[in-house]
Structure formats: structure tokens, C-alpha cells
């Protein structure tokens, strides 16, 4: 395998094709083989697996995935990268490249078609400008996925993994932790990419649950409560929810549910665990 992860090989490919980085697509290509090996190791891809790669760039990580997986599907938005990928991946017959915006793709249909609906392993060095919509799209649409191993901005990885009491705790933490067990695998400094991003990065692995860790009567209502209580940080949960014009619950309803849970009516959303939000929802919808 011609490892593109070595800086000189990446530069050679970029020069050969006179490639211009597009900032709007969040293009920061990995040039550190040890980081690539960490990501591939954490993803635990075997010859039984289909790997779905989001944003293959010039195919650096894709080469590793093609070696490990039975099948790889890579979705890349930038059409200028397609001829490059066809070149760098020409020795593999287990790769399908799709020139599309990942946010516009019907992933359920893709996984059903390409992997008979069996869970796939998602691996990516994500474009940072759309990390949250990509991850939430994968989780909320219930696409069959076993795990998601991704490079993201360090701060976003922290938000996904943290719990109550941290300044990073919020709606993203709760949404991710409802669907998956998060684990930060590595911190990655800017000099592992070309061009260098302005922020630090981290690799995080999300192992999806077969069944969520809490039981809730109405999942989407719980997430509306979560968003309402974090929209108004430093406000009480009671105010956050009763001030939200889209939610049909007043102060008295919220107070009753909180007291039934044995909580104070002045409690703040940022102290609530996922279990608390689930039982709050169940009490309120009783």
C-alpha cells in the first residue's frame, strides 16, 4: 500500500492534480501515520464489516479501510477529489465512491442497499463545520450503525463525553449519550494535518447501544425539554421549559413533576443527568 499518510506522498498527490484546498468544505488532510493507525485500531474493523467513510479527501484513511474491511463506501462532496480518489484507490476492488453531500444522502437506503441493512462502522476525519448535524443525523435517524469513530474538534469531543458539572455539558452530550457510549481515544495536535487547523482535535469512538440506557415515554419530547433547558443557561429548568412558547407546559406542571422526583423547583438543567431528564419527561407526560 502506498501510504498517503506520509507528508511527502500527500504533497506529491496534491501537486500532481494541482489541488486547491477548499476552506468551505473543512479540508484538513491527515498526514500522520500513527494517528491513522490509532483511528483504524479504535474502529475495530474486520473482514466482516462494511465501513462508511465520510469525506475521504485524497483517500489517505480510505486505503487503510480498504485493507481492513470487506467493503468500503466513501462519500465525498468535492468533485475535484473524485479523479484523485479513483487514482489513489485504483488497486482496491472493495471501494465505492459516492460524490454527494453526506447531509443530503438517504443513509438508511444506502445501508440497506450496500450492507443488506446490517450495522455498518462509520469512520471519518470529519469536516468540522458540520460535525453536529452529521453525528446527530446518524444517531437520530436510527441508521443501522455499530460504531462511529471520528476525528472532531477537541472541544466537541469533550462535549460529547462529559457529564453534569462540566461547562461543556449540554444538549449534545445528552443526545450522544442517549444513543451511544462515548470514549475519547486520542488527542491530535494541529501539526498532524495539512493545512493545519486553528483548533486542537480528538478522536472519539461512539459505540451504539442496542437499547437506550434509559426508558422514556416520548424520546422527541425529552429532547425538546433538554434543548429548552439548555437554551437558557443559568436559568432554572422550570423557567427554561415554561418560557418556551413551543412547549405546552406551564410553571405549575414543571414544579409538580420536579417535586414528584424529589427535586427542588429551582434546579438547573445543567445538573440533570440523562436519567433525570428521562424521569422528568415520564412524570410530566403521566
Residue choice 13, 35, 45, 75 for contact with ligand SAM (CB under 6 A) = 75
Q: Contact at 8 Å (CB) between 135 and 148?
A: yes
In the bound state with ligand SAM, the residue whose beta carbon lies nearer, of 15 and 246, is 15
User: If binding is defined by CB under 6 A, does position 55 make contact with ligand SAM?
Assistant: yes
User: If binding is defined by CB under 6 A, does position 60 make contact with ligand SAM?
Assistant: yes
Integer Cα distance of 43 and 146 in angstroms = 10
Least distance in angstroms from the C-beta of 24 to ligand SAM = 8
Least distance in angstroms from the C-beta of 48 to ligand SAM = 23
In the bound state with ligand SAM, the residue whose beta carbon lies nearer, of 57 and 170, is 57
Residue choice 35, 50, 56, 229 for contact with ligand SAM (CB under 6 A) = 56
Q: Residue 55 is placed in which grid cell?
A: 469525506
User: If binding is defined by CB under 6 A, does position 127 make contact with ligand SAM?
Assistant: yes
User: If binding is defined by CB under 6 A, does position 64 make contact with ligand SAM?
Assistant: no
User: If binding is defined by CB under 6 A, does position 42 make contact with ligand SAM?
Assistant: no
Can you tell me whether residue 66 is helix, strand or coil?
A: helix
Q: Contact at 8 Å (CB) between 56 and 222?
A: no
Q: Which of residues 2-31 bind ligand SAM (CB under 6 A)?
A: 25-30
* Sheet of 180-188, strands arranged across: 95-99, 71-76, 50-54, 120-125, 145-153, 201-208, 180-188
Can you tell me whether residue 196 is helix, strand or coil?
A: coil
Least distance in angstroms from the C-beta of 197 to ligand SAM = 8
Residue choice 76, 178, 182, 247 for contact with ligand SAM (CB under 6 A) = 76
Q: Contact at 8 Å (CB) between 95 and 89?
A: yes
User: If binding is defined by CB under 6 A, does position 86 make contact with ligand SAM?
Assistant: no
Residue choice 101, 155, 215, 252 for contact with ligand SAM (CB under 6 A) = 101
Least distance in angstroms from the C-beta of 44 to ligand SAM = 19
Can you tell me whether residue 98 is helix, strand or coil?
A: strand
Q: Residue 166 is placed in which grid cell?
A: 462540566
DSSP state of 130: G
User: If binding is defined by CB under 6 A, does position 153 make contact with ligand SAM?
Assistant: no
Integer Cα distance of 112 and 40 in angstroms = 24
User: If binding is defined by CB under 6 A, does position 102 make contact with ligand SAM?
Assistant: yes
Q: Which residue is nearest to ligand SAM (CB)?
A: 55
Cβ-based neighbour number of residue 81 at 10 Å:
24
Closest CA to 131 of 36, 55, 216: 55
Chain residues that interact with ligand SAM, rule: CB under 6 A = 25-30, 54-57, 60-61, 75-78, 81, 101-103, 125, 127, 130
Amino acid at each position: 500500500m502506498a501510504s498517503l499518510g506520509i507528508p511527502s506522498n500527500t504533497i506529491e498527490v496534491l501537486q500532481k492534480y494541482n489541488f486547491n484546498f477548499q476552506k468551505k468544505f473543512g479540508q484538513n488532510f491527515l498526514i500522520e501515520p500513527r494517528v491513522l493507525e490509532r483511528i483504524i485500531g479504535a474502529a475495530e474493523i474486520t473482514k466482516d464489516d462494511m465501513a462508511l467513510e465520510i469525506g475521504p479527501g485524497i483517500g489517505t484513511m480510505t486505503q487503510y479501510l480498504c485493507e481492513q474491511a470487506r467493503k468500503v463506501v466513501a462519500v465525498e462532496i468535492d468533485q475535484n477529489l473524485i479523479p484523485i480518489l479513483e487514482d489513489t484507490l485504483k488497486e482496491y476492488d472493495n471501494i465505492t465512491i459516492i460524490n454527494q453531500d453526506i447531509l443530503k444522502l438517504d443513509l438508511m437506503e444506502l445501508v440497506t442497499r450496500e450492507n443488506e441493512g446490517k450495522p455498518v462502522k462509520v469512520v471519518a476525519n470529519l469536516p468540522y463545520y458540520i460535525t453536529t448535524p452529521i453525528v446527530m443525523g446518524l444517531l437520530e435517524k436510527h441508521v443501522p450503525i455499530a460504531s462511529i469513530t471520528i476525528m472532531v474538534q477537541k472541544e466537541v469531543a469533550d462535549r460529547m463525553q462529559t457529564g453534569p458539572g462540566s461547562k461543556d455539558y449540554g444538549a449534545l452530550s445528552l443526545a450522544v449519550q442517549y444513543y451511544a457510549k462515548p470514549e475519547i481515544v486520542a488527542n491530535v495536535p494541529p501539526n498532524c494535518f495539512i493545512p493545519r487547523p486553528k483548533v486542537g482535535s480528538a478522536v472519539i469512538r461512539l459505540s451504539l447501544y442496542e437499547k437506550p440506557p434509559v426508558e422514556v415515554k416520548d424520546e422527541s419530547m425529552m429532547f425538546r425539554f433538554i434543548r429548552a433547558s439548555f437554551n437558557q443557561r443559568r436559568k432554572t429548568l422550570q423557567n427554561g421549559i415554561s418560557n418556551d412558547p413551543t412547549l405546552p407546559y406551564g410553571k405549575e406542571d414543571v414544579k409538580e413533576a420536579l417535586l414528584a422526583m424529589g427535586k427542588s423547583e429551582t434546579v438547573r438543567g445543567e445538573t440533570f443527568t440523562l436519567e433525570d431528564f428521562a424521569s422528568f419527561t415520564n412524570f410530566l407526560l403521566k
